[in-house]
Amino acid sequence: MTVSKLDQIRKENMSKLKIRKNQEGRKILIGMGECGMKAGAREVMQGFLKEFNANSIDDVSVILTNCENKCDLEPIVHVFDKDGTKTSYVNVTPEMAKEIVDEHIIKGGIIKKYAVLQNVG
């Protein structure tokens, strides 16, 4: 074992375990519940997970929430930036999930054609 090898192990595993520390950081909230699931929210969530894995994004928590009584807008995804700014996307599809990851989460730009609401935190 060398110092640099130890550092490498630390970095790799820290990335895997960030989920246990990242309560104040970035997160996405996905409406699940029965209506969300019927509208395909699970596929959307899996889409996000796939993109996070593909791009090694380890600092965005994925949190599921119950139905918000806006069932015809499901799947609803709220993206919270580090500063607490909340952007809501509705009727999200797995394809849109990829776009949201690429444009919003990686590049930090809001996708205006999808975003329905933004609250600065």
Partner 1 sequence: MHFLYRSHVMVCGGTGCTSSNSEKIRAELDTKLEEYGLQDEIKVFKTGCFGLCAEGPIMMVYPEGAMYTMVKVEDVDEIVREHLLYGRPVKRLLAGDKEHMDITKALDSVAFFNKQMRVALRNCGKINPECIDEYIAFDGYKALEKVLTQMKPQEVIDEVNKSGLRGRGGGGFPTGLKWSFAARQVGDQKYVCCNADEGDPGAFMDRSVLEGDPHSVIEAMTIAGYAIGSNQGYVYVRAEYPIAVKRLDIAIKQAREYGLLGKNILESGFDFDIEIRLGAGAFVCGEETALMTSIEGHRGEPRPRPPFPAVKGLWQKPTILNNVETYANIPVIFLKGADWFSSIGTEKSKGTKVFALGGKINNVGLVEVPMGTTLREIVYDIGGGIPKGKKFKAAQTGGPSGGCIPAEHLDTPIDYDSLIQLGSMMGSGGLIVMDEDTCMVDIAKFFLEFTVDESCGKCPPCRIGTKRMLEILTRITEGKGTEEDIEKLEVLAKNIKASALCGLGQTSPNPILSTLKYFKDEYIAHVRDKKCPAGVCKSMLHYEINPEKCKSCGICAKVCPASCIKGEKKVPYVIDTDKCLKCGACMQKCPFGAISKV
By CB under 8 A, the residues from 70 to 109 that bind partner 1 are: none
Query: What is the end-to-end Cα distance of the chain in Å, rounded?
Result: 45
Q: Is residue 49 within the footprint of partner 1 (CB under 8 A)?
A: yes
Q: Among 43, 44, 47, 63, which residue interacts with partner 1 (rule: CB under 8 A)?
A: 63
Q: Tell me how far, at minimum, the Cβ of 66 lies from partner 1, in Å.
A: 5
CB atoms within 10 A of CB 106: 12
Give the β-pairing of 26-31 and 77-80: antiparallel
Three-state DSSP class for residue 29: strand
Q: How many residues bind partner 1 (CB under 8 A)?
A: 39
Residue 60's H or E segment, with its range, is strand 60-65
CB of 55 to partner 1, least distance (A): 10
For residue 81, the SS3 value is coil
- Asked if 118 interacts with partner 1 (CB under 8 A), we say no
Q: Which of 43, 66, 90, 108 binds partner 1 (CB under 8 A)?
A: 66
**DSSP-assigned beta bridge partners for residue 109:** none
Which residues of this chain interact with partner 1, rule CB under 8 A? Answer: 1-3, 6, 9-10, 12-17, 19-20, 22-23, 27, 30-34, 36-37, 45-46, 49-50, 52-53, 56-58, 61-66
